[in-house]
């Protein structure tokens, strides 16, 4: 059975015990409640139970809850683009999702009697999570003030023990038999099925739970990156995880009870429940002028930065940047792309794109990197998009299209539409000159029905003349199909790459992904595979089961605070009251379609299925280089 679970001490976690964070000396608390106990602790003494006790002690406030629920309902009734799609009673492979009636779920919360504020917000968060839409989040600072880490990270199958501390416990290369008494793989599969939200595909969600190799820009090398199973921003199910592991060097299995290590996510101090609510939960008293999003850019990256406090960067051994893999020379590292030449397969080059959160300046890096590979007589290219969870759509499309210069310029965006409701029509009427309508400004979109179909809207027809779409029994209004407007790629880019051996040759290009490739990265993967027919290889998941090659592909996200700022600058009353608690709430507001497709790409499961599948092995899980060689050998079967 593959994958089999093994575990190792991760380098980062291994250092956690030793670290302390200077905490201010608190005066004796005025009264002893669960939050005063928590607030009085040295940061290194905080445990799971102290945090849970304080969270549970926050009193339920029905007025605040009413405001919160009303705002969330309005988002999903009037703004969210997938409210109707989420009702779909069936999911085709590789997806597996139950229909979600998000409005019904929120209304059910509205009818529930709560005594715990924490329970109320957790229920909303769970309802939002059930959509499995990584662009749509309900993050409440009040209940994300601490993060939780396991010292053991899970791999499928394993990354070897190069960590300093591993000698102490020596659990590297051990197989995990059980987690909390259940077969380990079953436990993690269930967790992927029930708890995480990053894909409609449970196997892609499983990949998100495990440790991956992430590129450390500062060090210029790949390092182990804990997965969502061992690193939580919400409160775990219990104070510890029980593992039974079987190590090759021991005859008996070992039972481990691993407490969660707890890390404060901010420096805020508090001394009791009241001051916890005031200082941590409520918006800060000094009113910062609302941040107005004037330069709107299509951002697809769904996660706010999670701070792992009191922990230094894991020391990536003694690897010199660019010399991590003896058999792969690193030519050039930009801010999003890195270029490697495989020494043992001199005809093969690798382009790693580890983030798409990058501006147009990276285009020049890409051209420079490709030129360097061409100068080495490279003829075959592997594009490695593993673990890239998104960024900007403009760069995402460029990354794929630059390999096919004869077809440029192609639109950077896919056919798209937006919900149209009364609320959206009101704000969109504030478009143009100067616009105060943010993304609800028709000028940002291409009028596909006018002239050459490449010009922007010069009026508000997009929002004034919607079309009717019925999905899963609900009829609502949408804009006609449009494209988000991007400046066309200047022709000098085509010219710069047109003579390269692989250019326009689909047989010389391969794609490598892992299902974690999300959002803008998914647009790159879509463009490679569907627009240009590049063959994808994908890795991970459960052997023999389907796995998506990318996740949350078909939407753009916006934060509630940005939408509120557009209403404010338009001197309009938003239909959504500001949330009483400090929060990051975002939603998908624009949906895309695959070219020529009728189902929104987010739900168009067929487009997520890749061609070739690779399994993690003890070798390729330790080294991207080993993986590149596997893809190269399978693709251009002539390597050494």
Among the residue ranges 169-177, 405-413, 447-455, 592-600, the one whose residues contact ligand NAG (CB under 6 A): 447-455
3-state class (DSSP) for residue 1: coil
Among the residue ranges 19-27, 51-59, 99-107, 347-355, the one whose residues contact ligand NAG (CB under 6 A): 19-27
**What sign results for the dihedral spanned by CA atoms 211, 303, 107, 146?**
positive
Among 365, 420, 520, 557, binds ligand NAG (CB under 6 A): 365
Among the residue ranges 29-37, 190-198, 249-257, 452-460, the one whose residues contact ligand NAG (CB under 6 A): 452-460
Fill in the DSSP letter of residue 370.
H
Nearer to ligand NAG, 89 or 451 (CB): 451
**What sign results for the dihedral spanned by CA atoms 249, 250, 253, 254?**
negative
Q: Min. distance of Cβ 377 from ligand NAG in angstroms?
A: 4
CA distance 616 to 621: 6
Cβ atoms of 484 and 445 closer than 8 Å: yes
By CB under 6 A, residue 216 contacts ligand NAG: no
Nearest to 476 by CA among 72, 69, 80: 80
Fill in the DSSP letter of residue 15.
T
Nearer to ligand NAG, 191 or 457 (CB): 457
Cβ atoms of 511 and 585 closer than 8 Å: no
Among 130, 416, 447, 494, binds ligand NAG (CB under 6 A): 447
Four-CA torsion 369, 375, 381, 382, nearest 10 degrees:
-50
Q: How many residues bind ligand NAG (CB under 6 A)?
A: 22
Place of tokens 């043992």: 344
Nearest to 293 by CA among 441, 395, 397: 441
**Is the peptide bond prior to 409 cis by the omega test (within 30 degrees of 0)?**
yes
Nearer to ligand NAG, 262 or 542 (CB): 262
CA distance 491 to 469: 38
Nearer to ligand NAG, 320 or 377 (CB): 377
Q: Min. distance of Cβ 186 from ligand NAG in angstroms?
A: 39
Among 2, 458, 573, 619, binds ligand NAG (CB under 6 A): 458
Q: In Å, what is the CA distance from 115 to each residue of 60, 143, 212, 273, 480?
A: 5, 16, 40, 15, 46
Cβ atoms of 339 and 376 closer than 8 Å: no
**E strand or H helix that includes residue 34:** helix 34-39
Q: Min. distance of Cβ 12 from ligand NAG in angstroms?
A: 19
Nearer to ligand NAG, 70 or 335 (CB): 335
CA distance 309 to 237: 22
By CB under 6 A, residue 25 contacts ligand NAG: yes
CA distance 69 to 71: 5
Among 123, 461, 545, 595, binds ligand NAG (CB under 6 A): 461
CA distance 579 to 336: 35
CA distance 105 to 130: 10
3-state class (DSSP) for residue 290: coil
Cβ atoms of 118 and 140 closer than 8 Å: no
By CB under 6 A, residue 42 contacts ligand NAG: yes
Q: Min. distance of Cβ 457 from ligand NAG in angstroms?
A: 5
Among 376, 467, 495, 640, binds ligand NAG (CB under 6 A): 376
By CB under 6 A, residue 80 contacts ligand NAG: no
Q: Min. distance of Cβ 428 from ligand NAG in angstroms?
A: 13
Four-CA torsion 112, 116, 118, 120, nearest 10 degrees:
10
Q: From residue 395 to residue 434, what is the string marking binding to ligand NAG with x (rule CB under 6 A)?
A: ----------------------------------------
Among the residue ranges 17-25, 228-236, 246-254, 604-612, the one whose residues contact ligand NAG (CB under 6 A): 17-25
Nearer to ligand NAG, 360 or 615 (CB): 360
Among the residue ranges 63-71, 273-281, 444-452, 495-503, the one whose residues contact ligand NAG (CB under 6 A): 444-452
Among 150, 436, 503, 513, binds ligand NAG (CB under 6 A): 436
Nearer to ligand NAG, 61 or 347 (CB): 347
**E strand or H helix that includes residue 475:** strand 474-478
3-state class (DSSP) for residue 316: coil
Q: In Å, what is the CA distance from 513 to each residue of 314, 385, 510, 550?
A: 25, 5, 10, 7
How many CB atoms neighbour CB 422 within 10 A?
A: 9
Among the residue ranges 148-156, 309-317, 404-412, 449-457, the one whose residues contact ligand NAG (CB under 6 A): 449-457
Q: How many residues does the chain have?
A: 640
Among the residue ranges 51-59, 141-149, 395-403, 443-451, the one whose residues contact ligand NAG (CB under 6 A): 443-451
Nearer to ligand NAG, 71 or 460 (CB): 460
How many CB atoms neighbour CB 365 within 10 A?
A: 18
CA distance 177 to 245: 5
Among the residue ranges 348-356, 456-464, 467-475, 610-618, the one whose residues contact ligand NAG (CB under 6 A): 456-464
Tell which positions 561-590 bind ligand NAG, by CB under 6 A: 570-571
By CB under 6 A, residue 377 contacts ligand NAG: yes
Nearest to 226 by CA among 8, 1, 26: 8
By CB under 6 A, residue 450 contacts ligand NAG: yes
Q: Min. distance of Cβ 25 from ligand NAG in angstroms?
A: 5
3-state class (DSSP) for residue 3: coil
Q: Min. distance of Cβ 450 from ligand NAG in angstroms?
A: 4
Cβ atoms of 365 and 335 closer than 8 Å: yes
By CB under 6 A, residue 455 contacts ligand NAG: yes
Four-CA torsion 545, 546, 549, 552, nearest 10 degrees:
-120
By CB under 6 A, residue 44 contacts ligand NAG: yes
Tell which positions 303-362 bind ligand NAG, by CB under 6 A: 334-335, 361
By CB under 6 A, residue 23 contacts ligand NAG: yes
Among the residue ranges 5-13, 176-184, 451-459, 553-561, the one whose residues contact ligand NAG (CB under 6 A): 451-459
Tell which positions 232-271 bind ligand NAG, by CB under 6 A: none
Q: Min. distance of Cβ 332 from ligand NAG in angstroms?
A: 8
Q: From residue 119 to residue 158, what is the string marking binding to ligand NAG with x (rule CB under 6 A)?
A: ----------------------------------------
Query: Residues interacting with ligand NAG, by CB under 6 A?
Result: 20, 23, 25, 42, 44, 334-335, 361, 365, 376-377, 436, 447, 450-451, 455, 457-459, 461, 570-571
């Amino acid at each position: 059975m593959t994958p089999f679970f093994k575990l190792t001490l991760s380098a980062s976690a291994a250092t956690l015990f030793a670290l302390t964070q200077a905490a201010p000396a608190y005066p004796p608390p005025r009264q002893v409640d669960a939050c005063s106990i928590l607030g009085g602790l040295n940061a290194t003494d905080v445990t799971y139970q102290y945090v849970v006790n304080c969270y549970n002690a926050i009193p339920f406030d029905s007025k605040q809850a009413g405001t919160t629920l009303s705002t969330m309902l309005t988002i999903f009734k009037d703004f969210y683009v997938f409210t109707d799609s989420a009702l779909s009673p069936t999911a085709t492979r590789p997806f597996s999702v139950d229909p979600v009636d998000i409005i019904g779920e929120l209304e059910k919360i509205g009818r529930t009697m709560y005594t715990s504020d924490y329970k109320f917000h957790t229920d909303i968060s769970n309802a939002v999570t059930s959509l499995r839409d990584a662009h749509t989040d309900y993050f409440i600072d009040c209940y994300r003030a601490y993060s939780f880490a396991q010292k053991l990270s899970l791999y499928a199958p394993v990354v070897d023990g190069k960590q300093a501390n591993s000698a102490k416990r020596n659990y590297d290369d051990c197989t995990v038999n059980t987690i909390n008494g259940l077969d380990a793989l079953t436990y993690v599969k269930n967790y992927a099925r029930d708890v995480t939200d990053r894909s409609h595909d449970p196997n892609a969600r499983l990949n998100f739970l495990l440790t991956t190799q992430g590129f450390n820009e500062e060090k210029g090398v790949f390092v182990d990156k804990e997965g969502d199973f061992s690193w939580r921003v919400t409160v775990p199910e219990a104070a510890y995880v029980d593992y039974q592991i079987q190590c090759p060097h021991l005859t008996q299995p070992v039972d481990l009870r691993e407490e969660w290590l707890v890390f404060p996510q901010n420096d805020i101090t508090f001394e009791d429940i009241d001051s916890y609510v005031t200082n941590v939960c409520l918006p800060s008293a000094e009113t910062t002028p609302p941040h107005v999003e004037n330069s709107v850019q299509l951002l697809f990256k769904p996660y706010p930065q999670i701070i792992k406090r009191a922990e230094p960067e894991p020391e990536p051994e003694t690897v010199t940047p660019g010399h991590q893999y003896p058999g792969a020379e690193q030519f050039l590292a930009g801010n999003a792309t890195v270029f490697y030449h495989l020494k043992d397969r001199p005809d093969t080059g690798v382009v790693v794109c580890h983030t798409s959160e990058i501006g147009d300046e990276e285009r020049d890096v890409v051209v420079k990197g490709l030129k360097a590979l061409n100068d080495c007589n490279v003829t075959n290219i592997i594009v490695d998009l593993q673990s890239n969870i998104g960024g900007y759509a403009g760069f995402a499309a460029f990354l794929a299209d630059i390999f096919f210069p004869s077809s440029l310029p192609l639109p950077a965006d896919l056919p798209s539409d937006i919900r149209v409701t009364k609320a959206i029509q009101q704000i969109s009427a504030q478009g143009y000159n100067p616009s105060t309508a943010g993304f609800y400004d028709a000028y940002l979109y291409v009028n596909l029905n006018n002239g050459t179909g490449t010009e922007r809207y010069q009026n508000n027809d997009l929002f004034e003349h919607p079309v009717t779409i019925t999905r899963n029994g609900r009829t609502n209004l949408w804009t006609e199909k449009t494209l988000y407007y991007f400046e066309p790629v200047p022709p000098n880019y085509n010219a710069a790459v047109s003579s390269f051996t692989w250019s326009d040759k689909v047989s010389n290009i391969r794609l490598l992904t892992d299902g974690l490739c999300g959002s803008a990265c998914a647009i790159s993967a879509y463009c490679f595979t569907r627009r240009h027919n590049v063959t994808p290889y994908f890795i991970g998941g459960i052997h023999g089961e389907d796995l998506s090659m990318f996740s949350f592909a078909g939407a753009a996200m916006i934060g509630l605070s940005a939408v509120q700022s557009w209403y404010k600058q338009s001197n309009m009353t938003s239909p959504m009251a500001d949330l009483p608690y400090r929060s990051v709430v975002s939603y998908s507001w624009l949906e895309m379609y695959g070219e020529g497709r009728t189902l929104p790409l987010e739900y168009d499961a067929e487009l997520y299925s890749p061609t070739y599948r690779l399994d993690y092995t003890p070798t390729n899980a330790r080294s991207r280089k080993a993986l590149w060689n596997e893809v190269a050998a399978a693709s251009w079967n002539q390597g050494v």
